[in-house]
Amino acid sequence: MATLAQYADGYDPAARGGLKILLVNPIYGGSLPAAHHAARALRALGHQVIPFESERLAAAMDFGKEFIFNQSRRAFHAGLTSLLSQAVELRARETRPDMILALAQAPLLPETMKRIEARGIPTAFWFVEDYRVLPYWRDSAPAASYFFGIQTDNFAAELARAGVTRYAYLPTCAEPSVHRPMELTPAEREEFGSPLSFVGAGYYNRQIFFKGLTDFPFRIWGSDWPFPSPLVPFIQRGGARIDTETTVKIFNASAVNLNLHSSTTCDGVVPDGDFVNPRTFELAACGAFQLVDRRALLPELFDEGELETFGCLDEAREKISRFLADPEERRQVAGRGMARVLAEHTYEHRMAELVALMTGTFPHLAERIRQRADQRDEIMADLDRHPGLAGLLATLPDQRWFTLNDVLGTIVTGQGKLSRAEKLFLMLQNVEVLWEKIPE
């Protein structure tokens, strides 16, 4: 109930945009694309995003793998993480954001989060991982101002035992500008399509489960599959990693997309699986038909008939055969799933909820949004006295706070004479602010 009240309190101010958010990306991994999608969504919602691009040091992290001893590698990686965490703090002191958003695996240490919060900057941490597999949340969650995760009851209870008082369930989602229906050429359908396909890493349970599907026309895409293996004839591109654009083409070209949540211990379907992986939403957003293993939290996100599920190998085989023979039913199910994702499960939906909870919990964030909205209204009300400025600002979104970069983005150079207002704004981008020291 407290979470609902916080969301209600924060929804109205958050809907107007206007926060300055420092977004800390992970160095690499599955949550890095999620960070990029979150940044785009926050900007679309009217917020200013300052990206901390940790991924630019991915080569340094890879360099650490060249050490011979595990202890040396761990020490190097810990040192690099500490360095990046200090850099986040320096960036926060320079840019003075209203809040910080970090995603799972971001190089933001607990002690850094505490120091940043002491400066009046709350930190939101979105843990898009399985808490049972990656336990570093035990350190990160108590240090974050607000902790978000993709699991509910059991995880919430564990967090409460760890002293975490601010936790909200925020499931994964899709980015419709990336995960979308595509018109493929005949050559692309030949290259990427198949009656049955899977895209993902070769986790143990998938290796075991997929051996029971080798009598189907099956293509497996992705890395970390064992060689030799009975699955080798089905593995595409020698087990190379598959980029996002190619993945979306595979989704669109395949008749039945298999989606089996990963496990390092189970032989097939995880019996107590709860969270729903991003692939479920991404496939649906593409308008692709999928068979996904049953998950405890899936019925809260999709209604029956919006995707198809299975609980064991025999059921998966039966449904693969059934839906390969019924393209019209595949089309209808996929269409309903896509409609659900676009209506409720995009990054804009998730970021709107996250920001609403933050503004409802930390009143000074809502107040800053109101102040900036008032400033914008004052500027727009005074435009009659500045006709050149009025024309320049007329293209900006209504009722949204704007920054210098937003205004500069409306100026087109090299196409005719610039107005006086345009020249002034172009001059402003070259003004440097000099500090004697980093702001405290």
> pLDDT tens per residue, the chain (440 residues)?
456 666 566 567 667 789 999 999 999 888 999 999 999 999 999 999 999 999 999 999 999 999 999 999 999 999 999 999 999 999 999 999 999 999 999 999 999 999 999 999 999 999 999 999 999 999 999 999 999 999 999 999 999 999 999 999 999 999 999 999 999 999 999 999 999 999 999 999 999 999 999 999 999 999 999 989 999 999 999 999 999 999 999 999 999 999 999 999 999 999 999 999 999 999 999 999 999 999 999 999 999 999 999 999 999 999 999 999 999 999 999 999 999 999 999 999 999 999 999 999 999 999 999 998 888 778 777 776 766 777 777 777 766 677 777 777 777 765 667 777 777 777 777 765 555 556 66
Structural domain containing residue 399:
383-434
Domain presence at residue 375: no
Residue 331 covered by a domain: yes
Q: Are residues 207 and 331 in the same domain?
A: yes
| Residues 204, 287 within the same domain | yes
Assess whether 327 and 353 both reside in one domain.
no
Together in a domain, 153 and 245: no
Q: Tell me, yes or no, whether 42 lies in a domain.
A: yes
Residue 221 lies in a domain: yes
HEC profile for 34-47? HHHHHHHHHHHCCC
User: Is residue 15 domain-shared with residue 112, that is, in the same domain?
Assistant: yes
CATH classification at residue 24: 3.40.50.2300
Q: Are residues 309 and 230 in the same domain?
A: yes
Question: Among 319, 344, 369, where does a domain finish?
Answer: 344
Q: Are residues 143 and 266 in the same domain?
A: no
Same domain, 15 and 118: yes
pTM reported for the whole predicted model: 0.90
Q: Is residue 209 part of a domain?
A: yes
